[in-house]
Chain A
Amino acid sequence: MAVTRQIRVVVSKVGLDGHDRGAKIIARGFRDAGMEVIYTGLRRGSDELAETVLQEDADVLGLSILSGAVVPLTAKVVEALRERGMSDVVVLVGGIISAEVAARLREMGVDGAFGPGTSIAEIVDFTRQRVAQRRGEVCRAG
């Protein structure tokens, strides 16, 4: 019988913004949903973060960004993951995200973009589905 590996999530604050209420809430939310969570703390650079995701063998990277720099900061992280051949990592972004910004994030390869008022349950469900999908695709490809 196949044993499903526990979902591993890296939650991080990139850029200079220090508001980590959302990051800490979602970290606990993932934990209470049975996932393994690594919260990197503040001000992580994109390369440093991609290395962490690689070393932790994470399925999911959750970015929390409340400054106005969501798009450029996320782009750098997505690029750093791509450079390391980790485009299969599920990337989630939470913060002050308008519909227009959410669309731009998805265009650059972000899986889920979540604005104010999103519930933990919604993010957890989304994450489970995406990870299952990604693992399935990897299996089929393999």
Chain B
Amino acid sequence: MASTQQRSTGYDEWLVAHAGDLAQQWRERYATSSGFEVKPVFTPEDLEERGWSYDRDLGLPGEEPWTRGFVPGGYRQQLWKLEMYAGFGSAEDANRRYRYLIEHGSTGGVSMALDLPTQIGLDSDDPAARDEVGQMGVALASLADVERVFDGIPLDRVHHIFTTANCIGPIAAAWFIALSEKQGIPTDAFVVQIQNDPIKEYIARGTQFLPIEASVRLATDMLQYVAERAPTWLPISVSGSHMKQAGSTVVEEAAFTICNGIAYVEACLAKGMRIDQFGACIELHFCTEMDFFEEIAKYRAVRKVWTRLVRERFGGTTARAQHFRLHAATSGRPLTAQQPLNNISRITLQILAQILGGCEQTRTASFDEALGIPTELAARTSIRANQIIAHETGVPYTVDPLGGSYYVESLTKDFESEIWRIIERVDELGGAVEATRLGWFQERIADGAYRVQTALESGEEIVVGVNAYQVDEETPVPVFELDETAIARQVERVKQVRAQRDSARVQAALARLREVCGTQANVMPAVLECVEAYATTGEIAKVWRDVFGTYSSETVRY
């Protein structure tokens, strides 16, 4: 048939005619960071080779196959929600920073970094927590701390709250349900977005403290409860960004995240839930690093793959079930301690890639992150980078501006094929939980990290300011300093909360939680009861540790 016949673009002749020019290269090989070959130029032949079709692979925004985004009007209709992840010290410190960020244009509400003890289920006054209280996030030992963080910040006014509670996901959901009742604001007046993705903790992020099956059960109990009680919330954010920052390639980041997402959905389906009821509660979260076109292709491909999974594998029938929040963060990993102001350029390019990829919510790192917690100036500069793209460049004026680019469409197709291939491999291994237990993801991630490091040391890859274009004397930039007295106050306050609460009520709630954990019933009502009684994060986590056992890291010999 004439219509399917390959049209010659003259590419082969062009290669011959310009062989001399084309042989002059400043790299031995041009490939994306995931290893896809990059040709000197892409033509319609590349699309034909991949079986690309306009209707099947592209279409229009707000329509299947969703390559061009879920929102018909794209950023013309609504600019991306800009979120600035922050948190340190005590509740008051965090409260001040959140107010500052909102005042300066962070439209994504409050994005809370939790300190490590909180994430691992240890209270601020636990001896094992002592050195790390408030260091990498805000310490939230009980509902009392959460109340203080939101002092003067009404939930419906910030509209959006995000936090990286993972293995303590149910506790975080309970905090916000309890807080909405205290503030007298209905749960549909704001959105709570909780990462609640424990699998990737075992793979790459490292805040796991229970056996993996128990963590998956707790996460999906929470998802089930929130999907019913607060259906506009986002109770799970399946996250690839930590796996990539630990060393996976861009395409592995996409595929591993989707595999973990499949594991959660299947766990929910096994509870008797239906995808049409909870599909819209799912969010997929990635980070954007420096390979500009790969990142754009990734976001486009992920929309195609996940929505097809929802339709074909999980039996989703509605557009709402297929739609997921696409959440992207610029990555702290490529940011350098050397010549830190260079990071402003890196961050800006990362933001641009995620905007060209059509992300609905973006989180932006700050240029001083390789040195410590961002200063106000560094955080504000990152907000401004988003605003410059939004208002000065014209980039948001048309939807999916790179749609139809021979290169971007080819790469999107390549991403799609590779993601399906990895899904198939993980299915063969028995799914994401089993693959994690086998260390399959971890091994690939460690390989990737080592590959990147050796390429850097051999000079095969260049990072400006690190292995090329160094300066003898660094120009110092201001570095954030934590108020250490805040930490002591936080520890003191946990003790006060314990002394002032109704101890009998706490003990009864914890006993009920212990009982429920031993059954198949959903733990959330019991967790909520504990939280409302001001049981601490550590006390609730201790019940889980007692019932489910504890995670312990393995020693590896090299």
Residues of A within 8 A of B (CB): 13, 15-21, 24-25, 27-31, 36-45, 52, 67-69, 72-73, 96, 98, 115-117, 119-121
CB distance from A97 to the nearest CB of B (A): 9
Q: How long is the Cα–Cα vector from A18 to B203 in the complex, in angstroms?
A: 10
User: Which of B370, B373, B482, B556: most chain A Cβ within 10 A?
Assistant: B556
> Which residues of chain B are near A121, meaning CB under 8 Å?
457
Report the stretch among B64-72, B130-138, B312-320 that lies at the interface: B130-138
Q: Check B555–A21 contact: CB distance below 8 A.
A: no
Q: How long is the Cα–Cα vector from A67 to B336 in the complex, in angstroms?
A: 17
Q: How long is the Cα–Cα vector from A117 to B467 in the complex, in angstroms?
A: 8
In chain B between 108 and 150, which residues have their CB closer than 8 angstroms to a CB of chain A? 116-117, 120, 122, 128-132, 135-136
CB distance from A119 to the nearest CB of B (A): 5
Report the stretch among B34-42, B75-83, B321-329, B446-454 that lies at the interface: B446-454
> Which residues of chain A are near B370, meaning CB under 8 Å?
96, 116
* Contact residues on B (Cβ < 8 Å of other chain), bracket: 35 or more
Which one, A73, A115, A120, contacts B131 given CB within 8 A?
Answer: A73
Known A-B contacts A39-B558, A43-B553, A67-B132; the reply to A117 vs B206 at CB < 8 A is no
Q: Check A39–B555 contact: CB distance below 8 A.
A: yes
Residues of B within 8 A of A (CB): 116-117, 120, 122, 128-132, 135-136, 201, 205-208, 245-247, 336-338, 370-373, 446, 449-450, 453-454, 456-457, 466-467, 479, 482, 553-558
Which one, A16, A27, A37, A38, contacts B132 given CB within 8 A?
Answer: A16
> Which residues of chain B are near A40, meaning CB under 8 Å?
553, 555
Q: How long is the Cα–Cα vector from A116 to B479 in the complex, in angstroms?
A: 15
> Which residues of chain A are near B456, meaning CB under 8 Å?
119
Q: How long is the Cα–Cα vector from A126 to B262 in the complex, in angstroms?
A: 46
The closest CB in chain A to the CB of B242 belongs to A19
- Other than A45-B128, A116-B336, give 19 A-B pairs with Cβ distance below 8 A: A15-B116, A15-B132, A16-B117, A16-B128, A21-B245, A24-B446, A28-B446, A29-B450, A37-B558, A38-B556, A38-B557, A39-B555, A41-B555, A52-B555, A67-B132, A67-B136, A68-B135, A73-B131, A117-B466
> Which residues of chain B are near A38, meaning CB under 8 Å?
555-558
> Which residues of chain B are near A27, meaning CB under 8 Å?
556, 558
The closest CB in chain B to the CB of A26 belongs to B453
Which one, B120, B371, B558, contacts A98 given CB within 8 A?
Answer: B371
CB distance from B239 to the nearest CB of A (A): 14
Q: Check A25–B557 contact: CB distance below 8 A.
A: no
Q: How long is the Cα–Cα vector from A95 to B201 in the complex, in angstroms?
A: 20
> Which residues of chain B are near A39, meaning CB under 8 Å?
555-558
CB distance from B387 to the nearest CB of A (A): 28
The closest CB in chain B to the CB of A116 belongs to B337
CB distance from B480 to the nearest CB of A (A): 10
> Which residues of chain A are near B122, meaning CB under 8 Å?
16
> Which residues of chain A are near B208, meaning CB under 8 Å?
18
Q: Top 4 A-B pairs ranked by shortest CB distance?
A: A18-B206, A41-B553, A68-B135, A37-B558
Q: Check A98–B553 contact: CB distance below 8 A.
A: no
CB distance from B76 to the nearest CB of A (A): 39
